[in-house]
């Protein structure tokens, strides 16, 4: 298959109100003159971004307010996105994390994480893959995962588990599609300076400019490069690529212990 074409076609981006999703949306509009369907919970932010991109780049931007923890919202996202238009590319970027001791992780929050990070992604991947095969052969889907899914990550145990699922699900699904006119890319970033780090508390230790922390625009650019080139598994940044390679040969208990040492210092003090 030739490279993925985004120009004047519709790309859906979930989690588009901030961070990596927002930057990818900007780049699709600015650098590729692509139309967008933006999805997130915060409609005011989506509408502000849509106005910015429409004025600056003369592209069509559709906003869908949806919560990926709610099955009805996930279903409605697909229905509204494909109503009267063809989605050529889908970037499934919405995700949530929990940083802290696993013993303290509220189970209701875990269920919401599972719905956002796993269930909604699987459902939308299947639906958009079918849609692209039928309506826009040669399109593609990208799942945004994490390096936390390649290494057991203490203090992000549940998050690490959801991303391990995405890494394996995405790579296996991509192989199933190898002879079909649709591609599936798994994007696997490490630390990024985004709002998620501030909300989770990770930014107490991992700050913008630190070694291993990528700027969100650099990360977004690599994500889109890999997506357009139809790479299956994309790890951005030379240091991340090196660490991912080395840790594949390390005993899993050793890798988990090393990760624990790195993350432990960022924990809030016990009450």
Full-model pTM: 0.90
How far is it, in rounded angstroms, from Cα 154 to Cα 164? 13
Range of the domain at 46: 10-264
Q: Which of 10, 98, 155, 159 is catalytic?
A: 159
Classify residue 123: in a domain, yes or no: yes
270 within some domain = no
> In this structure, what CATH number is given to the domain that contains residue 38?
3.40.50.720
Strands across the sheet containing 87-92: 61-65, 35-40, 10-14, 87-92, 139-144, 182-187, 233-234
Asked whether residue 178 is assigned to any structural domain, the reply reads: yes
Tell whether the torsion through CA atoms of 189, 193, 196 and 202 is positive or negative. positive
For 71-124, what is each residue's pLDDT tens digit? 999 999 999 999 999 999 999 999 999 999 999 999 999 999 999 999 999 999
How many structural domains comprise the chain?
Answer: 1
Condensed to tens digits (0 to 9), the pLDDT of residues 164-200 reads: 999 999 999 999 999 999 999 999 998 776 555 555 5
20 contacts 33 by C-beta, under 8 angstroms = no
**Known catalytic residue at 263:** no
């Amino acid at each position: 298959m030739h490279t993925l074409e985004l120009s004047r076609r519709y790309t859906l981006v979930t989690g588009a109100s901030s961070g990596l999703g927002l930057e990818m949306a900007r780049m699709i509009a600015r650098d590729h003159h692509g139309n967008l369907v933006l999805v997130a919970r915060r409609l005011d932010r989506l509408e502000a971004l849509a106005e910015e991109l429409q004025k600056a780049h003369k592209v069509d931007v559709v906003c869908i307010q949806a919560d990926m923890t709610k099955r009805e919202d996930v279903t409605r996202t697909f229905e509204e996105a494909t109503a009267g238009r063809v989605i050529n590319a889908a970037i499934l970027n919405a995700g949530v994390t929990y940083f802290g001791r696993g013993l303290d992780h509220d189970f209701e929050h875990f269920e919401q994480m599972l719905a956002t990070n796993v269930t909604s992604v699987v459902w939308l991947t299947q639906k958009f893959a079918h849609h692209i095969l039928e309506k826009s052969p040669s399109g593609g889907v990208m799942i945004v995962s994490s390096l936390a899914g390649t290494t057991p990550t203490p203090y992000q145990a549940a998050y690490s588990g959801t991303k391990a699922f995405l890494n394996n699900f995405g790579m296996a699904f991509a192989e199933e599609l190898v002879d079909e006119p649709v591609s599936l890319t798994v994007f696997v970033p490490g630390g990024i300076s985004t709002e998620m780090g501030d909300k989770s508390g990770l930014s107490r230790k991992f700050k913008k400019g630190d070694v291993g922390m990528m700027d969100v625009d650099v990360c977004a650019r690599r994500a889109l490069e890999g997506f357009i080139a139809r790479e299956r598994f994309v790890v951005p940044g030379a240091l991340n690529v090196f660490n991912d390679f080395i840790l594949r040969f390390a005993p899993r208990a050793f890798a988990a212990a090393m990760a624990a040492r790195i993350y432990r210092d960022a924990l809030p003090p016990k009450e």
